[in-house]
Amino acid sequence: MLILPDELLCLITSHLPNRDIKNVRLANKRLRSTSTLRFERVFLSPSYKNIEVLRAIAEHIEFRNQVKELVYDDARFAKYTVWREGEVLHEWEDERKPTSEFLLKCEKNLSLVGGHVAGLVRARTGADPKPDEVLMEFDDNVALYQRLYEEQQEIIDQGLDVSALGDALLAFPSLERVTLTSEAHQLGIHAPRYPTPLIKSFPPSFNYPAPWPWSGRFDDHNAISVKPWVEVKNCWRGFSLVLQELTNCERRIPAFTIDVNRNTTGIAHQFLVRRSPELVNLEKICENLERLDLAINIGQCDTFNGFRHLASGHLRHALSKAIRLRYFSLHTSALARDIKGFGDSMADDFTDALRSIPLESWPNLRHLTLSHFLVRSENLLRFLSQLPPGISSLEFVDIKILDMQWAELLEQFKTRLHYEGRKPHIAIALSQEVASRKIWMRSEIARFMDGGENPFVVSSSGNEIRRGFGTVRDDFDESFEEPWG
């Protein structure tokens, strides 16, 4: 390998992950000079480790110029009561329940990796535990988790992550996107979506409840969804502080993304009820945005008040300021099966949510994604007919059409939607029994729009895909792909 010219060595190592580049750089001085670590993404959370690494990259004259994305991890550690040795836990002792939940969640983690701590080590490192490796016991897990929680609260109390975020927005000259996420530890601790410096620093056998914030499917979801925003906004602390710092920032950051990985969660709909400080700040940053990905938790599945709040006009007013917008995605926490039995009168409230999107204010829009929506066919067709002529791609993820099936609606797309420019690429995704797995259709729809066979057939049981059409993909595993049917 050393006989190769430097230019070729640089090209080869540019395709390696950082983990391998670190090993290559240790080999000799020449490989160190031709193997450059890449830091296109940095992480921040109320964690000393994440703040330390962020500031180290910001102070490095070479690495700081590489950073294009800053991810704020809003998944906070919860407070658990320590399970003292020899202490008997009873289910009626409420103050002891958190510790029992800690144990149950740790057991669930192990069930995903073969039932043993060794499986957790193997999933994280790709190798079996070393013969002399000391695996962490339950008490060790609780003690480390407790320390992480205390450090987190200390940082929040002192606002250290807030000041670090403000500094970081100015420190990285190539920064293009700020991402706020609830999904850093998902699908689970054995396969985190975002391997932050903190997560990578954990001992391989560390077993802990994976934080999943923002009141998703569980944990008082319904109770929180009916309270005023001012009473619950601390659950979405990262949302508030990221918007505030972006508003205060002296430079223009062109992209803001809320990443929930299509999960049934998002920012609480209550912030849309009136002009909350967060909605005002969102309106301010919209003036600079070219890309915006929003995820809204629309509330209890028996009322879904969030759909009404989407249509209230406050969000539309804020989004109308995004006159530079080229890419827009709007996801809600609704599931089609939850709204299947609702009557027409209630459904009308839900389908009005399309009114929150001011297409007339976005002449430069190129891409649009709608995810987890309930629509009437006529409303959707009218909405799509207003798209700007430069639109190049459309995505519909788990869209429930109230009065028509996709087989019929695609025919309407073909005959009623006439685009001045070239036809936009259309993608449709429908969930399977495993929520993270969806059947995607892209090329099949393109062929249909050009005169090919409709990938859907009308069925009494709902949307039915023709055999041999569609590809199954997994939201948590980018490598997973198999033909449908």
Its sign, for the CA torsion 454, 457, 462, 468, is negative
DSSP 11-63: HHHTTS-HHHHHHHHTT-HHHHHH-----SEEEESS-HHHHHHHHHHHH-TTG
pLDDT tens digits, 200-248: 999 999 999 998 878 644 445 556 777 889 988 999 999 999 999 999 9
Buried b (16+ CB within 10 A) or exposed e, 6-30: eeebeeebeeeeeeebeebbeeeee
- Flag the least confident range among 8-12, 54-58, 422-426: 8-12
Return the pLDDT at 86. 53
Strand partners, 482: 472
pLDDT tens digits, 170-210: 999 999 999 999 999 988 899 999 999 999 999 999 999 99
Query: At residue 400, does pLDDT exceed 70?
Result: yes
User: CA 374 to CA 398: how far, in whole Å?
Assistant: 9
* Cβ–Cβ < 8 Å for 373, 331: no
Q: How many residues does the chain have?
A: 485
DSSP 373-440: -EE-HHHHHHHHTTS-TT--EEEEES-EESS--HHHHHHHHHHH---SSSPPEEEEEEE-SSTTEEEE
Which pair of tokens denotes residue 386? Answer: 């207003």
Average pLDDT over residues 357-363: 97
User: CA 315 to CA 335: how far, in whole Å?
Assistant: 22
* Cβ–Cβ < 8 Å for 103, 91: no
- What stretch of H or E contains 101? helix 97-111
Which pair of tokens denotes residue 312? Answer: 């209230």
DSSP 273-288: TTT-HHHHHHHHHHTT
- Flag the least confident range among 66-70, 127-131, 417-421, 432-436: 417-421
User: CA 88 to CA 253: how far, in whole Å?
Assistant: 54
Return the pLDDT at 392. 95
Query: At residue 93, does pLDDT exceed 50?
Result: no
Please enumerate in sequence order all residues whose Cβ is within 8 A of that of 266, keeping only pairs 6 or more positions apart, or say none: 214, 258, 260, 294, 295, 296, 297, 298, 331, 332, 333
Return the pLDDT at 258. 98
Return the pLDDT at 216. 46
Average pLDDT over residues 367-390: 93
User: CA 101 to CA 78: how far, in whole Å?
Assistant: 11
Nearest to 325, CA basis, from 264, 263, 380, 367: 367
Return the pLDDT at 15. 64
Query: At residue 92, does pLDDT exceed 50?
Result: no
pLDDT tens digits, 324-352: 999 999 999 887 556 555 555 555 656 67
Return the pLDDT at 94. 41
Its sign, for the CA torsion 57, 63, 65, 68, is negative
User: CA 18 to CA 258: how far, in whole Å?
Assistant: 26
Return the pLDDT at 298. 86
- Per-residue DSSP letter, 141: H
Answer with the residue of higher pLDDT: 97 or 38. 38
pLDDT tens digits, 250-300: 999 999 999 999 988 899 999 998 889 999 999 999 999 999 999 999 876
Please count the other Cβ atoms lying within 10 Å of the Cβ belonging to residue 378: 12
User: CA 365 to CA 419: how far, in whole Å?
Assistant: 14
Nearest to 290, CA basis, from 383, 362, 238: 362
* Cβ–Cβ < 8 Å for 332, 371: yes
Answer with the residue of higher pLDDT: 392 or 419. 392
Average pLDDT over residues 295-308: 75
* Cβ–Cβ < 8 Å for 103, 141: no
- Per-residue DSSP letter, 62: T
Please enumerate in sequence order all residues whose Cβ is within 8 A of that of 387, keeping only pairs 6 or more positions apart, or say none: 359, 365, 368, 394, 419, 424
